[in-house]
Chain A
Amino acid sequence: MSATPKLTVSYAPFWHNGSRISKKSCNIFMASLLAVVPGVYQYGVPALGVVALSVGSAMMWEIIMNILTRRPISIGDGNAAVIGMIFAMLLPATAPWWIVVIGTCIAIVIGKHIYGGIGGNPFNPVMLAIAILMLSWGKILDFNAALASYAFNFNAVYPLTLMKSFGASAVGGISLKDLLMGRQIGGIGATCGIGLIAGGIYLMLRGYIRWEIALSFLAGVGVTALCFNKVNPVYAGPGIHLLTGYTLVGAFYLITEDSSSPVNFIPMMIYGAGAGILTVLIRNIGAHVDGVVFAILIANLINPLVDKIRPKTIGEVITHA
């Protein structure tokens, strides 16, 4: 052989199972379409506009932050697009353009990049954005007012508002099947129960979200709602709580966000169930119509603490220096 070939020299392991962040983002994005497409179908072109603007502006903020912080352009990993998509899922179809742009700005800039970018954020960026918007421009996120101009062939009152103001009897007429099929008003991607569940099951099976968190969250909501309902039937039963508001989108797309959730088994259970219980407590007793947003933010807050409960490392040498 004439010239000696230049070999690649690097560290072990030399194999990799092929997973990467962009694949995960791509899968979450695709799964969310299962819920977003029915939403767009129901609300028409304005909904499509919100989704497109949200995804687009989220990616734009990501690039701007990459340039400002002088780091490599990272929209390739798809995380910004996913944040934009999930943010859009929570908005009413009539959300004005500036709300969308401000919301994604909060999510990407304050929710993600201030903490050092992907993997560093202690709070779910989308939750942070929605919470700030709810506190600042509550009216726009009030689904009854926002969607008043639509004529639906079903009861067009946000079920959670009904429940809050008039008790369980007011939502008694809503069949769970209707809720599953998306015959309720709400966020663009938050109403079609069947689409959300299908996407969630897909993501859990593929391992792109941690099933422990999603299921314990749903269990937390269901069990707490059932307890309330049994003690005093004025509170709605678990079915209504599970299928209305942000519960399903929360279980599969919000609370499972990687960076702000625990990774060990017992902490995942505590974290998920805790957020579920809080959700129903806020809905039934607290001041807000939907408890998911604040429940998840509070769960994010305790995440670093609960994740300290970890299995004992085998062979760990504890030295007291």
Chain B
Amino acid sequence: MIKRSFFGCMTPKLSYAVVDESYAEPVPVSPKKKIILFFSPTGGDSPQPAFKVGDTVSAGQKLCITDPAVPYMLSSMSGKITDITSMTGIFGKKIISATIAIDDPSQQSVDESFKSIHQAPGLGNAMEFLKCLPGYPGFGVFADKNHPVQTIAVLGMDNDLVSATNQYVVKNNIASVKTGIGVLRQITGVHNVVLIVPPQLVQVAGSSGATLKSVDMAYPSAHPVLIERYLLAQRDKPQNQTTVKSVAFFTAEAVAAIGAAYNTGRIPFEKIITFLSKDGRKRLVSAPVGTPLQDILDAMSETLGDGDRLIVGGPMTGFSVYSADYPVLPDMDTLILQESKTIPEQPDTPCINCGECIRVCPVKVPINMLVRYLEAGQFEVARDQFALFACIECGFCAYVCESRIPILQHIKLAKHTLERL
């Protein structure tokens, strides 16, 4: 945890992780008995799974649900479906969870449908097979004809602290990233590709064939919204305002996975995760999507105790889970195990108007006023007068708040409530 600096008069700075020689190769972890796949439907009318308990699946087989946005997951291992449950996630998000008891690693059967078409890359087959690669490539934006994509931004830098996943991919796997960028250009027809990297990776990234843009190491400058703003400001204002151009974001990991998939015909499932253990040690782990977190903890010889916190995603924007029986998700860049005694306590004090949050907010939200209205539940006033929706949800304000108000949570709750109205 990065503490307040002694000289508190200066604007606080938080630095992103830097991937350097101290990072060993990712430790491979395989699921022991089962994998769990999470489907997060976006559609309203309770989407149904098109598979049932008892079905056998092979590695790479599509499991579909009736949902327009991400209508399938690919099973990363072969096995037999033993359980299907629907659950409710954060802010009432629906999740369908499928548990698959996996076959013995020596007897894995592999689904060959992607292999048969991999030599003819196209947006269609990418949408059909590659939507849930590690890193969740966002092909969906290309379908929106009102917002033609003018730039593809490849994030070689992680959005949250601690995570070094995408930096690692750029540093050690730039060849796959290059292939992936080539494929993306070919299948989307968008030639303007920008690779976002931290300054020390500019040299390595030079061979990728994309335009390079290095970002500052101070959190949250690698935030997609800030990058998008920068990229769009670079272009001349379009003559006719009727079509708004947009930026498509892909993580470096996703791009490398796309490259690998079309190169070999085998869809990669290994997700690289930055794991931060209780003692503050950072290690990289590579585990197939769906691996239960408990298997990762076991492989890292970490034990979970009462009151510990298991955090998926970074320390600023992630979420904590109820049990280690939670799977590796395609976009899970970071896993943090926080010991109960290092969890900061949360007093119950109102905003004292100290102004720390104002100094750090990257988009200059008047947080000291906003939070008063949010605490009182006056979400409309917060939206209309205090720029609630301008917040990019970086969490920096709550990190420095002297009253330790859960500002980010208040903001998310208010946005969620207003959006449902």
Contact = CB atoms under 8 A, between A and B. Distances in A.
A72 to B, nearest CB: 7
What interface size band does chain A fall in?
Answer: 35 or more
Contacts of A259: 352-353
A5 B306 contact: yes
Given A5-B308, A263-B368, A72 B348 contact: yes
A120 interface: yes
Contact of A120 (B8, B317, B319, B350): B350
Interface stretch (A7-15, A59-67, A141-149, A161-169): A7-15
A10 to B, nearest CB: 6
B363 A314 contact: yes
B13 to A, nearest CB: 11
A316 B391 CA distance: 8
A113 to B, nearest CB: 13
A312 B340 CA distance: 40
A200 to B, nearest CB: 12
Contacts, number: 179
Interface in B203-235: 225, 229
A316 B366 CA distance: 11
Contact of B320 (A4, A14, A16): A14
Contacts of A14: 309, 311, 315-316, 318, 320, 336, 338, 343
Interface in B384-421: 384, 387, 389-390, 392, 395, 398-404, 406, 408-409
28 contacts: A1-B303, A1-B304, A5-B304, A7-B310, A7-B321, A8-B340, A9-B320, A11-B320, A12-B316, A12-B317, A12-B409, A13-B399, A14-B311, A14-B338, A15-B1, A15-B2, A16-B404, A17-B3, A72-B348, A74-B349, A77-B349, A118-B352, A119-B350, A119-B351, A207-B8, A211-B9, A314-B363, A315-B229
B390 A316 contact: yes
A119 B352 contact: yes
Interface string B286-330: 000000000000000001111111110101111111111000000
Contacts of A6: 306-307
Interface in A1-49: 1, 4-21, 24
B68 interface: no
Given A18-B1, A205-B9, A313-B364, A258 B354 contact: yes
Interface residues of B, number: 72
A32 B20 CA distance: 46
B121 interface: no
Given A12-B316, A16-B399, A17-B400, A315 B307 contact: no
B347 interface: yes
A173 interface: no
A1 B323 CA distance: 13
Contacts of B401: 16, 19
Nearest to A209: B9
A17 B397 CA distance: 11
Interface string A188-229: 000000000000000011111011000000000000000000
Given A12-B318, A13-B317, A313-B363, A208 B309 contact: no
A120 B368 CA distance: 12
Given A9-B322, A10-B309, A264-B358, A19 B9 contact: no
Contacts of A8: 307-309, 320, 340, 343
B286 to A, nearest CB: 24
A148 to B, nearest CB: 41
Interface string B257-299: 0000000000000000000000000000000000000000000
Contacts of A10: 309, 320, 343, 346
Contacts of A135: none
Contacts of A204: 9
A310 B354 CA distance: 16
A119 B353 contact: yes
Given A12-B318, A204-B9, A24 B308 contact: no
Nearest to B399: A13
A6 B406 CA distance: 22
Contacts of B321: 7, 9
Given A12-B318, A12-B319, A21-B347, 20 more contacts: A1-B304, A7-B322, A9-B309, A12-B395, A13-B316, A13-B399, A14-B343, A16-B344, A16-B401, A19-B356, A116-B350, A118-B349, A119-B351, A119-B352, A119-B403, A205-B9, A258-B353, A315-B225, A315-B390, A317-B390
